[in-house]
Amino acid sequence: MSTQHVHAHERREGLLSVEEARERVLSQIAPLAPLQLPLQEAHGCVLAEDLVAEGDIPDFASSAMDGFAVRASEVAGASPASPVELRIVGRALIGHRPESTVGGGEAVRIATGAPIPAGADAIVPIEDCEVVGDRVRILAPSPEGKHIRPTGEDVRGGEPLVRAGRRLGAPELGLLATAGISHPPVHPRPRVVVLSTGDELVPPTQRPEYGQVRDSNAYTLFGALREVGAVPVMAGIVRDDPEALRETVLNHLVQADAYVSSGGVSVGERDVVKAAFFRRGDVEFFKVAMQPGMPQGFGHIEGKPYFGLPGNPVSVFVSFEVFIRPALLKMMGRRNLFRPQITARLEADVSGPVGKTQFARVIVRRDGDGYVAKPTGGRGSNLIATVSRANGLAIVPPGVEIAPAGSEVDVMLFRPME
């Protein structure tokens, strides 16, 4: 009786807005300490320090054409009518220091990418040459520097390569490899331990007895974690036993940068996450003025962020989008934490609970200059298929009870429009 009274009281007094709750979470999240990771692992991660080129890139001058390395001054007057004849004194090969030098009246045969021999200052492409025995007839002039890739043309030694805060994509990996930076300092991908709480749960490989439920949340979370660039660690189903939950959580400590559990955070006496961690003061439980996803737990277990999500499948998805995704992006050192939002015209009424933000599952498409959004089904937090049909969450703000067809709403796009 008294418990119920306390909760009714909390509900009125202690409801946080979505923004307050998100701020409360994000203010307690810090970027993961940088690690020097091999380039393949650093892909997609955020660079933690400015990187500078140690030397010139490229660090030797090379030919941009197959042809002959010459002295520009000697071929200045060359033409088919009055070719300049030079003696071929050697060959410049790719990957080797040229042995020959180009002196007066001399030329060195050169391949694309081969270093420029000493004495030469221009390349004559093979099309403008006629080889006769050990001599070459140059049929066109080639000014100084022509077809030569100079040192430092791409980046000069001491110049910035990639700035801190930049996410390493394909071009950055190539650039760092060129610069000889094989282990750049980056914010690593968080390893996130995923737990499903509930005596009723069975793995999807098992046929549920009457009343049992397949654990879907672990898989929703697995996909969401992968998509945001985190590394899921699947810890499986945990019974509604606080001792068992504590043990599983602590057993995974060495593999965890963060935890996400689903279920067991609402007001029932069997709410296992609360029972396991509330009294220790590690995890705080609060109610957010949102639907779905009202009860949330958040705190730190041995310094690792712990997200205690409600059990309903849609609540899990929405809570991940609203709280966990931005938090993980912050851990990864990213600056843009939020999904893109667009404004769309509703194609049907969407009703929201009084005083709460409603995240309504919608499918958005382009329509002329704007966007239209169609609800994909009912409001129930158990209806995961409504998420599967959607590409966005329409945000119906707390004051709005019914957003009528034809009105405009903000939509968080969680995947591209088709």
Q: Which residues bind ligand AMP (CB under 6 A)?
A: 196, 198, 200-201, 213, 215-218, 262-264, 266, 310-313
Position of minimal CB gap to Mg ion:
263
Smallest gap from Cβ 94 to ligand AMP, in A, equals 59
Residue 357 carries which side chain, given as an amino acid letter? Answer: T
Within 194-241, where are the H helices? 217-228
Three-state SS for 286? strand
Cβ within 8 Å of residue 280, ≥6 positions away: none
Closer to ligand AMP at the Cβ: 263 or 299? 263
201 binds, among ligand AMP, Mg ion, none (CB under 5 to 8 A by kind): ligand AMP
Return the one option of ligand AMP, Mg ion, none that residue 184 interacts with (CB less than 5 to 8 A, by type).
Answer: none
Which CB contacts under 8 angstroms, 24+ apart, belong to 320-324? 320/220, 320/221, 320/224, 320/260, 321/224, 321/359, 321/393, 321/412, 321/414, 322/18, 322/22, 322/290, 322/293, 322/359, 323/21, 323/22, 323/25, 323/296, 323/298, 324/224, 324/260
Task: Say how far apart CA 311 and CA 308 lie, in whole Å.
Answer: 9
Q: Three-state SS for 357?
A: strand
The CB-of-315 to ligand AMP minimum distance in angstroms stands at: 8
**Residue 308 binds what, of Mg ion, ligand AMP, none (CB under 5 to 8 Å, by partner type)?**
none
- CB nearer to ligand AMP: pick between 186 and 273: 273
28 contacts 332 by C-beta, under 8 angstroms: no
- For ligand AMP, the closer of residues 297 and 398 by Cβ is 297
Q: Which is nearer to Mg ion, 194 or 390 (CB)?
A: 194
Closest alpha carbon to 329 in 387, 390, 235, 258: 258
Contact in structure between 136 and 86 (CB atoms under 8 Å): yes
Binding partner of residue 312 among ligand AMP, Mg ion, none, CB under 5 to 8 Å per kind? ligand AMP
Place of tokens 């057993």: 251
From residue 297 to residue 336, the character string flagging contacts with Mg ion as x (rule: CB under 5 A) and all else as - is --------------x-------------------------
d(CA 32, CA 141): 59
Closest approach of ligand AMP to the CB of residue 169, in Å? 35
Beta carbon of residue 415, minimum distance to ligand AMP (angstroms, whole number): 21
CB closer to ligand AMP out of 47 and 218: 218
> In the complex, what is the shortest distance from the CB of residue 273 to ligand AMP, in angstroms, rounded to a whole number?
9
> Would you say 317 or 414 has its CB closer to ligand AMP?
317
CA-to-CA distance for 20 and 83, rounded, in angstroms?
80
198 binds Mg ion (CB under 5 A): yes
Copy the structure tokens of residue 255.
């593999």
**Nearest approach, Cβ of residue 319 and Mg ion (Å):** 15
Pick between residue 149 and residue 214 the one whose CB is nearest to ligand AMP. Answer: 214
Using CB under 5 A as the criterion, which residues of the chain lie in contact with Mg ion when the complex forms? 198, 263-264, 311
